[in-house]
Homo-oligomer: A and B are copies of this chain.
Amino acid sequence: MSTPELGLPMAVAAPELPARVRIYEVGARDGLQNEKATVPTEVKAEFVRRLADSGLTTIEATSFVHPKWVPQLADAEQLFPLVSDLGRSSGVHLPVLVPNERGLDRALALGARHVALFASATESFAKANLNRTVDESLAMFEPVVSRAKAGKVHVRSYISMCFGDPWEGPVPIHQVVRVCKALMDMGCDELSLGDTIGVATPGHVQTLLAELNEEGVPTSALGVHFHDTYGQALANTLAALQHGVTTVDASAGGLGGCPYAKSATGNLATEDLVWMLQGLGIDTGVDLARLTATSVWMAERLGRPSPSRTVKALSHKE
């Protein structure tokens, strides 16, 4: 039996969706930071290059967190110079995570032009991840944002646990809105709403987005970051697109996950997202075959198959 390669879905547009979506690729940072294996710096650099070659234009490269907390990314100083030419030569944005002023100093010293903070919507996660209250962590971010903005550096902030929290259960929407507003008031350019444990559903997503708009945070400043723990990530993404969101976080091959979630399944896979967007006729600039090949290549380096359904389907040998 012959089964010709389909490779791409038939494109049929749906009403009231954005014409273009920016994929914010987190595999090299959020993905690799949760890997047990230590990935050689050269392999990470090659991964970032291949992601850029597949058409991704925003690739979070690494994290300037203290190596004690994230040993997998302890080579940030060595890695960043290996890829930073991508920013100059092909206009790719290479944001890096900075947890505090010390992290910002390290990032700025290497010429980073885009940084990302990591805030929490809940007290429990702020305590677990940052050993601070939510307000203490916001106070810690304030000089980071003001110094970055003074240097014309673009600032994103992640907000973790926007929908549910493993200690606190469902997270009240007003609590998420308060943290988002504080970060916008501080001068952040962009927020990424994280469903860190993957419990969100589409109505919850649209309601949070509407409440944020109501409180003055425009959709244009909002990205979404869904985890697939309960298989909801792509449906939630569709709901966000229908609300007008045009920035979607995803991880090539579905790399990574949240160590606090009750399952190994983690980030929305970039390939599954691209399949849907391509099918909807939404432009992303990504070459799906090339991206899939990159994830297969990385999976071979990590010694385990990609959890992405699209990668599995497209790389399946008869």
Contact = CB atoms under 8 A, between A and B. Distances in A.
Interface of A: 1-4, 6, 9-14, 17, 128, 163-164, 166-167, 169-170, 197-204, 206-207, 228-232, 234-235, 237-239, 260-265, 269, 272, 275-276, 278-281, 308-310, 312-314, 316, 318
A311 to B, nearest CB: 10
Contacts of A197: 6
B310 A231 contact: yes
Contacts of A234: 231-232, 234-235
A13 B238 contact: no
A168 to B, nearest CB: 9
A287 to B, nearest CB: 16
A313 B260 CA distance: 12
Given A4-B166, A238-B239, A262 B128 contact: no
Contacts of A269: 231
Main secondary structure of the interface of A (DSSP, over half): loop
A6 B6 CA distance: 39
Contacts of A310: 230-231
A281 B13 CA distance: 28
A262 B316 contact: yes
Give the oligomeric copy count.
Answer: 2
Nearest to A204: B12
A231 B311 CA distance: 10
Nearest to A164: B6
Given A166-B3, A310-B231, A14 B202 contact: yes
A31 to B, nearest CB: 17
5 contacts: A6-B169, A10-B201, A10-B204, A229-B309, A261-B313
Given A262-B316, A318-B262, A203 B13 contact: yes
B12 A203 contact: yes
A206 B229 CA distance: 26
A263 B230 contact: no
A198 B234 CA distance: 14
Nearest to A309: B231
A149 to B, nearest CB: 34
A275 B231 CA distance: 9
B280 A312 contact: no
Nearest to A201: B279
A6 B168 CA distance: 9
Contacts of A264: 312
Contacts of A276: 201-202, 232, 235
